[in-house]
Structure 1
């Protein structure tokens, strides 16, 4: 069953199937797929505007609570989507569609700009198994990324083995795995990318095996007594009574980043203490709930993660 553009206003804004439906739409009808992607960008912009307006109003009244703010955020997401897809937004979607529409032709054909981009080797890390979207990557690489659609533009190759040269390179490497983890946790992939960036220093300080190869553990997940997989030992900082101490710990090791992200998602879903983290749609709340659940002992952990989520480094790496 195909998804029609006119059906989108009736869809939940947090529906994690949206990315797959967008790829399907591009494969069947590139023009309609572009229209949907452009509307998603306008949705993102409207959400930012509405969030800024909410933040300007005091929210510490008797009727305000964490739950009320959560559901208000969901309402704002849905309103932004409805405005963008109904044609009553601010007109960004129409401008994007006009600007990029000339690079899209019929399925199976490429315009000259798109073919040139393919020759240059641009990548669209939406899914490692679905190759049909590659012929439309020129369009999507020029659109900002959101929790549901799009992906960061291809980054330059790493200059030092498997160590990312830039934050953009790191994001490009882990993005498809973050998208998959997002589908199972309901957490926007950019939050998951930010969390892996905090724990690994944007990939430059990731845990490594004795031979120097990557453990593919970007989240600092320790190997408890029930872990039967491979491990690595590393010195880490733990806070005891608010004071940092250097200790040697055993951490989990994986065969790939895909496996590492999958285990991270399973950890959040399978441990009851992270129940409040699942489905988080606000970056600051996501960071705070992780810390409250005991993910790390650093008293400033939530603040550090929140700064990455809301900071310019991640935003510029995503937009490209």
Structure 2
């Protein structure tokens, strides 16, 4: 049973049908427009089951093995047992799946009758809020299915108010483009933040006006729109050099998101990266290998920016 069918027109027959399979998350997004209260609850159980399985896996890895009876067969048996345990432990009233179902229902506009969240015991179930310095607007908390599917790496440094402001400002546009293209909103927000120094170093036109180019996309010979010409840093054989380059200019930030999504989706150059949106590191590495930027450390830097964005968006989940 896949996540996609969990949100489709036919509800899952029982909790035992749940499958903790991260590869099915893309099908979940594809069937999101068919969501009903029952299918949302079952989908939430699958998310919780996947989380519990990873938790059990981490516990197993932290336990020292004797080595006497360990072999490929015993490892397979343990994995199957853990998968079954994760299914059995998921979907309990008042548990994590209730919170996930609540969030999914808000994002999909589906009313959830009889939800345990919000009852007398709801004080222990309220979403975690970020510190006041990191909550400039409630839009930071507008999570998408992609956000729910990804497990971010905790940033080494706490996100700044500048980063929170940037993510909040562009969340609505990013969510809109994800809905149209499937490219995770947090991936786009993180890359836009990295390319612009979280909004502090945006590309300007000659007259000083904003080019609205959030992704550092250059204006090649095929580009027929407006152009902003600036001095930028390029890496040639690993050595940083200053060069004057032409960049695309747009009429709005949303146009920038649209053009970026079109580039990533339509260009054969980025086909492999486009297929790796289930992993922050794989996506960032795919972009670097495809030549999105000349910086040899681009993948590592982009991964950190995306993980910071995921952290921010999860920290401010509001009703």
TM interval, short-chain normalised: 0.5 to 0.7
Bigger Rg, structure 1 or 2:
2
8 A Cα contact 1:39 1:85, kept in partner = no
User: Would you say how many aligned residue pairs link Structure 1 and Structure 2?
Assistant: 244
Please name the residue that 1:211 is paired with.
Answer: 207
Offset of 1:101 from its aligned partner? 3.1
Q: Which runs of 5+ in 2 are unaligned?
A: 1-6, 63-82, 103-114, 121-135, 150-159
Please name the residue that 1:147 is paired with.
Answer: 146
Please name the residue that 1:244 is paired with.
Answer: 240
Please name the residue that 1:132 is paired with.
Answer: none
Please name the residue that 2:26 is paired with.
Answer: 14
Please name the residue that 2:80 is paired with.
Answer: none
Please list the CA deviations of residues 212-256 of structure 1 after superposition, one character each: whole Å capped at 9, or x if unmatched: 332221110000111010111122110011110111111001111
For 1:93 and 1:271, locate their aligned partners in 2 and report how far apart those are by CA, in whole Å.
38
Aligned alpha-carbon RMSD (Å): 4.4
Residues 85/208 of structure 1: CA separation in 2 closer, same or farther (3 Å cut) = farther
The counterpart of 1:220, out of the listed 216, 225, 233, is 216
Please name the residue that 1:169 is paired with.
Answer: 165
The counterpart of 1:87, out of the listed 86, 91, 98, is 91
Superposition pairs of residues 1-320 of structure 1, within 5 angstroms: 3=9, 6=12, 12-15=24-27, 16-17=29-30, 20-21=33-34, 35=41, 42=48, 45-46=51-52, 49=55, 83=87, 87=91, 91-94=95-98, 100-102=117-119, 124=139, 141=141, 146-147=145-146, 166-183=162-179, 185-280=181-276, 281-311=278-308, 314-320=310-316
For 1:292 and 1:268, locate their aligned partners in 2 and report how far apart those are by CA, in whole Å.
13
Deviates most, 266-275 or 209-218: 209-218
- Secondary structure of the equivalent of 1:262? helix
What TM-score does the superposition give when structure 2 sets the normalisation length? 0.60
For 1:202 and 1:289, locate their aligned partners in 2 and report how far apart those are by CA, in whole Å.
22
For 2:205 and 2:225, locate their aligned partners in 1 and report how far apart those are by CA, in whole Å.
14
Offset of 1:289 from its aligned partner? 0.6
Offset of 1:171 from its aligned partner? 1.3
For 1:33 and 1:255, locate their aligned partners in 2 and report how far apart those are by CA, in whole Å.
40
- Secondary structure of the equivalent of 1:290? helix
For 1:207 and 1:237, locate their aligned partners in 2 and report how far apart those are by CA, in whole Å.
13
- Secondary structure of the equivalent of 2:245? strand
For 2:57 and 2:185, locate their aligned partners in 1 and report how far apart those are by CA, in whole Å.
19
Residues 192/44 of structure 1: CA separation in 2 closer, same or farther (3 Å cut) = farther
8 A Cα contact 2:232 2:245, kept in partner = yes
- Secondary structure of the equivalent of 1:147? helix
For 2:254 and 2:305, locate their aligned partners in 1 and report how far apart those are by CA, in whole Å.
22
- Secondary structure of the equivalent of 2:165? helix
Residues 179/46 of structure 1: CA separation in 2 closer, same or farther (3 Å cut) = farther
- Secondary structure of the equivalent of 1:226? coil
What TM-score does the superposition give when structure 1 sets the normalisation length? 0.60
Offset of 1:262 from its aligned partner? 1.1
- Secondary structure of the equivalent of 2:25? coil
8 A Cα contact 1:207 1:216, kept in partner = yes
Residues 43/13 of structure 1: CA separation in 2 closer, same or farther (3 Å cut) = farther
Offset of 1:5 from its aligned partner? 5.9
For 2:242 and 2:56, locate their aligned partners in 1 and report how far apart those are by CA, in whole Å.
43
